[in-house]
Amino acid sequence: MESNETPRQKKINTVLQQEIAILLQLALREQHVKNLMISVTKVRITPDLANAKVYLSIFPTQGAVEIFENLKQNAFQIRHDLSQKMKNQLRRMPELLFFLDDSLTYVEAIEKELKKGSDPIKENALEKRQKK
């Protein structure tokens, strides 16, 4: 997959990803939340550095939507805390747009199907042979 990001965008993506992850971990510790893991899977900033798409993975997936909605409602506070932390690195803090990254759920579903014992690739090959 080809990326059209500039080196500056890539650096900002990496720094934002690390700093947002640290902020979320600290917030979970302060709230004494156990058995919950929120990870920042990726960050993509626009070329004008005005918006940053933040992709989050929440485990366990039960109640993930409710937690995600709560994070979206508090995006302004996260942005403020982030701007205080990074005030010497960025002139203007981008708007944070949160998205739920469901790739982990997708991978788990594929693994579950593969563990059922039937191999869809072999079954497809058998069907093609039978049609001949």
Q: What is the pLDDT along the chain (132 residues), one digit of tens a residue?
A: 456 889 999 999 999 999 999 999 998 888 887 888 889 999 999 999 999 999 998 888 787 888 889 889 989 999 999 999 988 888 899 999 999 987 777 777 788 878 887 666 666 665 665 655
Are 96 and 109 contained in the same domain? Answer: no
Total structural domains in the chain?
Answer: 2
The answer to whether residue 112 sits within a structural domain is yes
Q: What is the pTM of this model?
A: 0.76
Distance of CA 14 to the CA centre of its chain: 13
Q: 60, 18 in Cβ contact below 8 A?
A: no
Joined tokens for residue 38: 């929120």
Tell me which residue range forms the domain holding 74: 7-101
Q: How many CB atoms lie within 10 A of CB 54?
A: 25
Are 84 and 108 contained in the same domain? Answer: no
Q: 94, 45 in Cβ contact below 8 A?
A: yes
